[in-house]
């Protein structure tokens, strides 16, 4: 009897501590880890972090921990205390693609991370030099089949979401593709603009200056529907590949075991930040769409995309260091 009472007292203490933690959270500085160098996702994290700091009346520190295609930063967060004071802001691909293609990645996001919120989304496009001998997805596929070895297609690196999106496209359409991997999105897109490759995949944001200059044309966007950024850009889905879409989305997560009440508070406050007009305007100027979600929606998104990319990686037998 005494042991049962002790157990109940212990459980009460745990739940009481969680409730107090959630009610008082945060009572000290919060760290948001970005597994990349400054720029890109880091920009989103700093914008959101600064507004959370205002709401919480606590410092929110952005810590860059790049390396191993994002693996180092993600695993640092996973090994941190599950108390809400170390968070992760990262690319969706780190949660759905990297565990399947990078040998050094030993983590499993659904098992090791607590989902908090989908933050932003940015469309991917297929782009070509203005002089490319095709203008539509159908013409591009037909042209690819005339090229010995396949149509050279630039991407920002092997094993990236860009790479797998093109692999998926080739499987679903029969296009003959030759991957040309560059070290990052900037050189990959510069190769398109310079005419070094006849086509490539890139974020819409990186393409806009070249599109406006007339050096690059958009063949199609990998979006579910046409977007305000390029209302004249056809989607890949409407170009004969039903259901095809892919994008660069970002998300916030925490170590698994972080109290639900703390997760709920971070989610609510981050969604509040994402609805702020100045935040939406800042991100829109960089051609980034604000999203927002519940933890459950992010969890489902991670599981669904991880399953899809896992099957694709297995089918293609892809693995990288």
Task: Concatenate the DSSP letters of all residues of 124-154 into one string.
Answer: EEEEEETT-S--SHHHHHHHHTTSTT-EEEE
Which residues make Cβ contacts (< 8 Å) with residue 218, sequence separation at least 6?
125, 126, 127, 207, 211, 230, 233
Query: Minimal CA–CA distance to 163: which of 243, 248, 239, 104?
Result: 248
Domains of the chain in sequence order: 2-121+247-316 (3.40.190.150), 123-221 (3.40.190.10)
Q: Is the pLDDT of residue 206 over 90?
A: no
Predicted pLDDT at 112: 98
Cα–Cα distance list, 176 to 8, 162, 240 (Å): 64, 16, 16
Q: Is the pLDDT of residue 21 over 70?
A: no
Question: Residue length, the chain?
Answer: 321
Q: How far apart are CA 90 and CA 94, in angstroms?
A: 7
The tens digit of pLDDT for each residue in 124-182 reads: 999 999 999 999 999 999 999 999 999 999 998 888 899 999 999 999 999 999 999 99
More confident residue, 238 or 22: 238
Grade residue 4 by pLDDT with cuts at 50, 70 and 90. Answer: low
Q: Is the pLDDT of residue 2 over 60?
A: no
The tens digit of pLDDT for each residue in 70-110 reads: 999 999 999 999 999 999 999 999 999 999 999 888 999 99
Predicted pLDDT at 287: 85
Q: How far apart are CA 216 and CA 194, in angstroms?
A: 9
Phi–psi pair at 202, nearest 5 degrees: -155, 165
Q: Is the pLDDT of residue 199 over 70?
A: yes
Query: Minimal CA–CA distance to 101: which of 194, 149, 167?
Result: 167
What is the average pLDDT across 23-49? 93
What is the average pLDDT across 276-288? 93
Predicted pLDDT at 5: 45
**Cβ atoms < 10 Å from Cβ of 103:** 10
What is the average pLDDT across 286-304? 95
What's this model's pTM, rounded to 2 decimal places? 0.86
The three-state secondary structure class of 213 is helix
Percentage of the chain lying above the pLDDT 90 cut? 75
Grade residue 9 by pLDDT with cuts at 50, 70 and 90. Answer: very low
Taking all residues of the chain, what is their mean pLDDT, rounded to a whole number? 91
Q: Is the pLDDT of residue 20 over 50?
A: no
């Amino acid at each position: 009897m005494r042991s049962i009472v002790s157990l109940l007292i212990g459980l009460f203490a745990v739940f009481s501590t969680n409730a107090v933690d959630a009610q008082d959270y945060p009572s000290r500085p919060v760290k948001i880890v970005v597994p990349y160098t400054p720029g890109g996702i880091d920009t989103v994290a700093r914008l959101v972090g600064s507004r959370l700091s205002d709401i919480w009346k606590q410092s929110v520190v952005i810590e860059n921990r790049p390396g191993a295609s994002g693996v180092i930063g993600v695993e640092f967060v996973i090994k941190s205390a599950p108390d809400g004071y170390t968070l992760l802001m990262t690319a969706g691909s780190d949660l759905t693609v990297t565990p399947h293609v990078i040998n050094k990645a030993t983590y499993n996001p659904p098992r090791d991370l607590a989902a908090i919120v989908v933050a932003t989304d940015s469309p991917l496009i297929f782009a070509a030099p203005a002089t490319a001998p095709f203008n539509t997805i159908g013409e591009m596929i037909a042209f690819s089949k005339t090229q010995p070895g396949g149509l050279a297609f630039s991407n920002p690196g092997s094993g990236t979401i860009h790479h797998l999106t093109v692999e998926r496209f080739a499987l679903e359409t029969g296009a003959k593709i030759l991957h040309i991997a560059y070290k990052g999105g900037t050189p990959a897109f510069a190769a398109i603009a310079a005419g070094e490759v006849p086509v490539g995949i890139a974020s819409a944001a990186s393409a806009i200056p070249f599109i406006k200059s007339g050096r690059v044309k958009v063949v199609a966007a990998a979006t579910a529907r046409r977007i305000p950024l390029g209302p004249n850009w056809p989607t890949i889905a409407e170009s004969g590949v039903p259901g095809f879409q892919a994008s660069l989305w970002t998300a916030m997560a925490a170590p698994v075991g972080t109290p639900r009440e703390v997760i709920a508070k971070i989610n609510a406050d981050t969604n509040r930040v994402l609805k702020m007009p100045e935040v939406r305007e800042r991100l829109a100027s960089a051609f980034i769409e604000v999203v927002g979600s519940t933890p459950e929606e992010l969890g489902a998104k991670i599981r669904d995309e991880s399953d899809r990319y896992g099957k694709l990686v297995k089918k293609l037998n892809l693995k990288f260091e």
